[in-house]
Amino acid sequence: MNAADITTEHRGTDSRLRANILNRGIMAHNITYKPITDPSMMALVHQASYSFQMPFVPSTAGGPRNAQTVEGGLFVWDGANTRVDHGTAFQWVLNPWDSNFGKIRVWTGSSWAAAGYLKPDTAWHQVSFLVDPAGQRVELSIDGTQIAAPYSRTPKNGWGTEVAARLQAEAISIYPGSAATSAPQHEVLIKDWTWTRQ
């Protein structure tokens, strides 16, 4: 995968995250995020939300668009001290051949854990995050329903020495298999971002 395989289009009312736009035989990750770099980020309570929509329903019938996952998270990277990424994230499994199709999973710091179900559809859904690094607590909800999510700590190598918070959304295109020469595109729409810190 390279930068030519993904694009994010900011269209005024929403942003469209697209992955595997050249239809190559790959799994492409489009991670779109807003970072705020400031030493105070580890001491603040972060609350954020946005709405997301799949403009198509993934299907085993195939077609020009299909999906692996839609993901989102809120994290604070403590590069100055612990070199650990603190926060929470969700993953919506959208590969229609996967037995976890429609499942919501949460990031534990080292892996994804089952946490709920959201029927794949084309409706708008809202995700809300709270990350409190000082209190080591998080909250995560989708469409107003609380999801049991752990406070995750993820060590990172090769990241910088800054302290930076980031709100992110991600589209991962479907894994087509190691022998594939082509694969469908994937896209997700994001709007109504909010992020407060206090």
Pull the structure tokens for residue 169.
């959304």
Residue 26 above 90 pLDDT?
A: yes
The per-residue pLDDT of the chain, averaged, comes to 97
Q: Tell me how crowded residue 88 is: count the other CB atoms within 10 A of its CB.
A: 24
Q: At 34, is the secondary structure helix, strand, or coil?
A: strand
What's the pLDDT band for 1 if we cut at 50, 70, 90?
confident
Query: Is the pLDDT at 154 greater than 90, yes or no?
Result: yes
25 — pLDDT class (breaks 50, 70, 90)? very high
Residue with tokens 């995250």: 17
Tell me if residue 26 falls in helix, strand or coil: coil
Task: Output the pLDDT for position 198.
Answer: 96
Mean pLDDT across the stretch 7-31?
Answer: 97
Q: For domain 3-197, give its CATH number from 1.10.510.10, 3.40.50.2300, 2.60.40.10, 2.60.120.200.
A: 2.60.120.200
Average of pLDDT values for 104-120? Answer: 98
Collapsed DSSP state (helix, strand, coil) of residue 97: coil
- In order, the DSSP letters of 108-177 are -SSSEEEEEE----SSEEEEEEEEETTTTEEEEEETTEE-----EEEE-SS--SSEEEEEEEEEEPPP--
Cα–Cα distance between 114 and 12 in angstroms, integer?
Answer: 34
